Amino acid sequence: MKLAWLKERVPVDLDKLSELSNEPVPGHLKRWWFALGGTPAYLLMVQLATGLLLMFYYVPEPGRAYGSVAHLTHDVAFGWWLRSIHKWSASGMIVAVLLHTMRVFFTGSYRKPRELTWMFGAVLLFLTLAEGLSGYSLVYEQLSFWGATVTSNLAGAMPGIGGFARRLVLGGDEVGPATLTRFFVAHVAIFPALILVAVAAHIALVRIHGMSSETRFKAQATEPKTFPFVPDHLLTELMIAITLMVLLDVLAVRFPASLGDPANAAITPEHIRPEWYFYFAFRWLKLTTLRIGVLGVFVAALVMLFWPFVDGGLRRLSKRDLSIGFGVAAVLVVVIFTIWEALA
């Protein structure tokens, strides 16, 4: 096919397009700590690809869900591998988002004019956690069932809208067919679509403002001031992607996704525990009453979402920068509660 034929039908200026996609990147992005935003983006692609393939076999119906996962794990060629990569990549995405959040926080890159970039980022963190929570319940093993029950109880304890939120999650008064349909639609359609929209807005804002520079860090003398996105930064991202693919494979082979006992509403398991990324919240909930626990999580999420403005207010009030101390305290609480729950 002649290029002229295509150009006539798709009259896009390719030179302008390559100029747009090849903005010079600041030198400090050579350091991996600063380039962490690309990692959750790559793992999101892994999640979408493996998730689509898992859907070929998964049946979102209480009587058949567990059997379809068992069939995929034991009979389908490489089914166990797909499930394991999907599971490990979900954990990896959460680790990457948390590390990226810490780098953005501790370098003060959320400050004016990047408040909205931060807010879209915070929404991405919440949506990534919601993906983990909803995916966990689809397997319909004992922990999925009781996990969904705990989730609906937490929704029920929300101030003011508890009853409505609980019915919204359950699709009725208890975990049943409508609940699984809701978790399935949320996991494969609503949350991924929202994540894609939020990633697009987040990256558009990063492009519009350019990357922050020299907020709380000094450029190294050996670093160039800027370097081209293509091929330099693309190659860095590619190297990270290949390393992660190898790591995910090793984890999938060494620690494949397991399958517990099928869901049984009549038997409450002795230990109900969510995935590791909810350990800190789970520990917190154990230390308080349900209502205060849920209120605490809600307030913490609001502070995180509006942090650039909270930080601005604190700086005006105290004339000092308290953000590093606040950030260190928040990281310590999350780490200590997570380890505490893991050892319990």
Residues near ligand HEM (CB under 6 A) are 34-38, 40-41, 44, 97, 100-101, 104, 109-110, 114, 117-118, 121-122, 124-125, 128, 199, 202-203, 206, 211-212
Residues 249/85, Cβ–Cβ less than 8 Å: yes
Question: Which of 38, 192 has the CB closer to ligand HEM?
Answer: 38
Q: Decide whether 230 or 344 has the Cβ nearer to ligand HEM.
A: 230
Whichever of 36 and 257 has its CB closer to ligand HEM, that residue is 36
Q: Give φ, ψ of 244 to 5 degrees.
A: -65, -40
Whichever of 35 and 69 has its CB closer to ligand HEM, that residue is: 35
Give CA–CA dist 2/298, Å, rounded: 58
* Angle made by CA atoms 149, 87, 43, in degrees to the nearest 5: 120
Closest to ligand HEM by CB, 76 vs 206, is: 206
Query: Which residue, 128 or 144, is less far from ligand HEM as judged by CB?
Result: 128
- Lookup result for tokens 């966990």: 136
Query: In this structure, what token pair is assigned to residue 302?
Result: 């609001």
Distance CA 121, CA 117 (A): 6
- Name the minimum Å distance from CB 315 to ligand HEM: 17
Smallest separation, CB 262 to ligand HEM (Å):
33
Report residue 336 as tokens: 């200590």
CA 119 vs. chain centroid, Å, equals 14
CB of 292 to ligand HEM, least distance (A): 25
Give CA–CA dist 132/105, Å, rounded. 23
Alpha-helical (H) ranges within 107-215 are 115-138, 142-156, 162-170, 177-185, 191-209
Looking at the Cβ atoms of 117 and 152, the one nearer to ligand HEM is 117
Nearer to ligand HEM, 83 or 100 (CB): 100
Contact 87, 70 (CB under 8 A): no
C-alpha to C-alpha distances, 67 to 48, 59, 72, 127, 133, nearest whole angstrom: 23, 9, 9, 28, 20
CB 166 within 8 A of CB 233: no
Q: Closest distance between ligand HEM and the C-beta of residue 321, in Å?
A: 17
CB of 69 to ligand HEM, least distance (A): 26
Alpha helices in the chain (DSSP H): 3-9, 14-20, 38-55, 62-74, 79-106, 115-138, 142-156, 162-170, 177-185, 191-209, 234-254, 279-287, 290-305, 307-318, 323-343
Q: Which one, 102 or 158, has the nearer CB to ligand HEM?
A: 102
- Minimum CB separation from ligand HEM for residue 29, in Å? 7
Least distance (Å) between residue 227 CB and ligand HEM: 14
Q: How far is the CB of 205 from ligand HEM (least distance, A)?
A: 8
Tokens 């898992």 belong to 54
Query: In whole angstroms, how close is the CB of 311 to ligand HEM at the nearest point?
Result: 12
